[in-house]
Amino acid sequence: MDAADGVGDGDWGARSVTALRNHERDYDALAERLARRGQRAETVVQAVGRFAVAVPSWALGTGGTRFGRFPGPGEPRTLAEKLADVAVVHRLTGAAPRVSLHIPWDEPDDVPALRALAAELGLGFDAVNSNTFQDQPGQPLSYKLGSFSHPDAAVRRQAVEHHRHVIEVGQVLGADAITVWLADGSNYPGQMSLRQSFDRVLDCLRDVYAALPAGWRLFTEHKPYEPAFYATVVQDWGSSLLLAQALGERAQCLVDLGHHLPNTNIELVVARLLGAGKLGGFHFNDSKYGDDDLTAGSIKPYGLFLIFHELVLAEHERLAGFRPAYMIDQSHNIKDPIEDLLQTVDQLQLAYAKAQLVDHAALTEYQESGDVLLAERALKDAFETDARPLVAEARRRAGAALDPVLAFRASGYRARVAAQRTAGGYIPPQSL
Ligand code: RM4
Ligand code: MN
Ligand code: MN
């Protein structure tokens, strides 16, 4: 594989002696500065080295809006090519070892063969995703008026059957969770019963929950609107929590950072779900207005840091049941998808590293003595620290790149695959 993709020689970024020397000087300077604050750079580097996030199978092609799409050269045409691209992201960041598969967008023909191919590339599988928000060719019944919430029991049965199938595929792949995002909802008042639609969703989810293999979890993902523009059935974290609590211990909530109404305090939502033992996972992205699916950290980096602060607190406190599944869910509309993913993973590693720099003992002391200013500053001190050398060091130790995007550009990978992947265009899933 290494010879084929040209990005596997393990010395990325360290290839330039000057880049490596500059990195070492930056790292030493930061380590010294942290030591003066009583903090160890080494501890943070090790924590960043353990951080991992899954890449969704739908993220390797150029995304688009309902107005259009501007594909770039060398997009993957097959699942195998998508895996090859994820392997590049993992090799350059050291932090993307798993793929989150979407069915039927990425329905494998030969599931065991896909698992073997992934293993060859050093990849595994994270939560599998179902899709009852579109009708598939040949599907007997339509989801136009809903899936799990549909008034017709036959449609609901078809949707449950689809989820059983997704779980079966996931099981063969070695996944251990299913994420359920439903588009169910209505566009006009009166279109559906607001209460019954929720009860039907819960009933169907009970069937899916009952089909979970041992050790599996089910994540419910909420979204306030789109494609339903009047009332979405699972529209907020409260509804998601009701479902997860009614289903049982192995049902938890998934927080997609773009699925909140404007100005929602997402770190507070995260804290509530953590407190209830119901935080299952994340779909990382960023947004300015709605479900924009922009690069994580590109619009509200402080918000991302505050979310990671809650996560790191839970980690340090060894909160019971805390086992979050981290995934990316973005639409790469105008950046090269691989570059955007590299930038995303870097931003997540950075937010995680900064959150590790919060002095928890001092923060607690300020909170308890009512020192508002210093409490806030305990967070700001961490956020404003340039933690990039810590992240680069974690990557260097993992044999990944000091600067993944520059290493990717220097590798010539995109041009090479553009030459290979010529026949037939990649048809992307509709961007949602
Ligand atoms: C939705 C949601 C789901 C994703 C689809 C494509 O808005 O974020 O997680 O699977 O889009
Ligand atoms: Mn999502
Ligand atoms: Mn979304």
Q: Kindly identify the ligand whose nearest atom is closest to the C-alpha of 292.
A: 3
Residue 406 CB-density burial (10 A; 0-12 exposed, 13-18 middle, 19+ buried): middle
Q: Burial letters for 274-310: b for 16+ Cβ neighbours within 10 Å, e otherwise?
A: beeebbbbbbbbbbeeebbbbbbbbebbebbbbbbbb
The conformation of residue 134, written as its DSSP 8-state character, comes to S
Nearest to 325 by CA among 240, 252, 391: 252
Instruction: Output the CA 36–ligand 3 centroid distance in Å.
Output: 43
Residue 12: what pLDDT?
52
Ligand 2 centroid distance, CA of 329 (Å): 5
Torsion, Cα 285 288 294 298, to 10 degrees, reads -80
Residue closest by Cα to atom 11 of ligand 1: 432
Cis, bond preceding 104 (omega within 30 deg of 0): yes
Quote the tokens at residue 157.
Answer: 């049965």
Q: Which atom number of ligand 1 is nearest to the Cα of residue 131?
A: 10
Ligand 2 center to 133 CA (angstroms): 13
Report the nearest-CA residue for atom 9 of ligand 1: 181
Span from the CA of 387 to the centroid of ligand 1 (angstroms): 31
C-alpha 320/C-alpha 124 separation (Å) is 25
In angstroms, the CA 106 to CA 54 distance is 15
Distance 378 CA to ligand 1 centre (A): 35
Low-confidence ranges of the chain (pLDDT < 70): 1-15, 423-432
pLDDT tens figures, 157-178:
999 999 999 999 999 999 999 9
User: Cα–Cα distances in Å, from 225 out to 217, 230, 233, 235?
Assistant: 25, 7, 9, 7
Q: How far, in Å, are 130, 185, 315, 341, 387 from residue 348 at the CA level?
A: 25, 32, 16, 10, 12
CA distance 158 to 5: 41
Among 229, 329, 430, name the best residue to mutate to test ligand 1's pocket (greatest count of ligand atoms within 8 A of Cβ): 329
Cα dist. 272→30, 184, 253, 280, 311 in Å? 34, 25, 11, 12, 12
Other C-beta atoms closer than 10 Å to the C-beta of 389 total 23
Distance 54 CA to ligand 3 centre (A): 16
Ligand 1 pocket residues where CB is under 6 Å = 129, 181, 221, 223, 256, 283, 291, 329, 432
Residues with CB under 5 A from ligand 3 (ion): 291
pLDDT at 429: 57
Test site for ligand 1: of 101, 256, 332, most ligand atoms within 8 A of the Cβ: 256
Summarize pLDDT for 214-255 with one digit per residue, the tens.
999 999 999 999 999 999 999 999 999 999 999 999 999 999
For residues 111 and 127, the answer to whether their CB atoms sit within 8 Å is no
Residue whose CB lies within 8 A of the most ligand 1 atoms, among 221, 292, 293, for a mutation test? 221
Q: Whose CA is nearest to atom 6 of ligand 1?
A: 432
Residue 112 Cα to ligand 2 middle (Å): 26
| Cα of 3 from ligand 2 centre, angstroms | 34
pLDDT given at position 7: 59
Q: What is the pLDDT of residue 18?
A: 86
Instruction: Report CA Rg, the chain.
Output: 22
Give the closest residue (by CA) to ligand 1 atom 5.
Answer: 432
**Which residues keep their CB under 5 angstroms from ion ligand 2?**
256, 283, 329
Quote the pLDDT of residue 6.
53
